[in-house]
Copies of this chain bind each other. A is one copy, B any other.
Amino acid sequence: MSTHPHGEGCSCAHEAGRTPLPDLTDKLRRQAHKVTGPRQAVLEILRRQGRPLAIREIHQALPEGDCDLATVYRAMHLLKGMGMVQRFDFGDGVARFELLAEGVDGHHHHLICVRCAEVVAVEECIPEEMERRIAERNGFTAVTHKLEFFGICARCQGGVRCET
């Protein structure tokens, strides 16, 4: 999980870890929201991990139950509304959130190991005309999509189930 899928110096959309914490909190302040301890802590964790995190994971990563679980839920709701995080669903009934890099639309997908739950960011996307075609054919507008890939990662292929 520590190795970056795209090598050193990558600047792909999910690389929000590059945004310094002060820039993130400033964004809060600018929109008339208070910069509190819990919010800073949550942002710092999202920034450092740079991958989709479940609310439970974020809460457990906080030092000594520093903040209430409900507060993390409320923080994520706020950040989602501000467009600072994106929500992903991997089909296990748990919402996951990932920090978005500043100025990037952040649209990307994931490849998830069904054995160990390792997550790799996938920048590739479906052909644009495919979405347009589907929208037109059915009379829909404002069409978006959710796409996630599932498989077995290299470490888990030997029958050995890796950690994480």
Chain A residues near B (Cβ < 8 Å): 5, 89, 91, 93, 95, 111, 113, 120, 122, 124, 126-127, 130-131, 133-135, 138-154, 157
Identical copies in the complex: 2
User: Would B130 and A124 count as touching, CB distance under 8 A?
Assistant: yes
Query: Which B residues are in CB contact (< 8 Å) with A151?
Result: 135, 140-144
Name the 5 nearest CB pairs between A and B, nearest first. A143-B151, A139-B154, A140-B151, A147-B147, A145-B149
User: Would A150 and B145 count as touching, CB distance under 8 A?
Assistant: yes
User: Would B134 and A149 count as touching, CB distance under 8 A?
Assistant: yes
Docked Cα-Cα span, A146 to B146, in Å, equals 8
User: Would A139 and B153 count as touching, CB distance under 8 A?
Assistant: yes
Query: Which B residues are in CB contact (< 8 Å) with A131?
Result: 149
Query: Which B residues are in CB contact (< 8 Å) with A146?
Result: 91, 146-148, 150
Query: Which B residues are in CB contact (< 8 Å) with A154?
Result: 138-140
User: Would B124 and A134 count as touching, CB distance under 8 A?
Assistant: yes
Docked Cα-Cα span, A152 to B141, in Å, equals 5
Find the B residue at minimum CB distance from A113.
Answer: B140
Docked Cα-Cα span, A93 to B152, in Å, equals 24
User: Would B150 and A147 count as touching, CB distance under 8 A?
Assistant: no
Query: Which B residues are in CB contact (< 8 Å) with A134?
Result: 111, 122, 124, 149
Find the B residue at minimum CB distance from A126.
Answer: B126
User: Would B138 and A111 count as touching, CB distance under 8 A?
Assistant: yes
Query: Which B residues are in CB contact (< 8 Å) with A126?
Result: 126, 130, 147
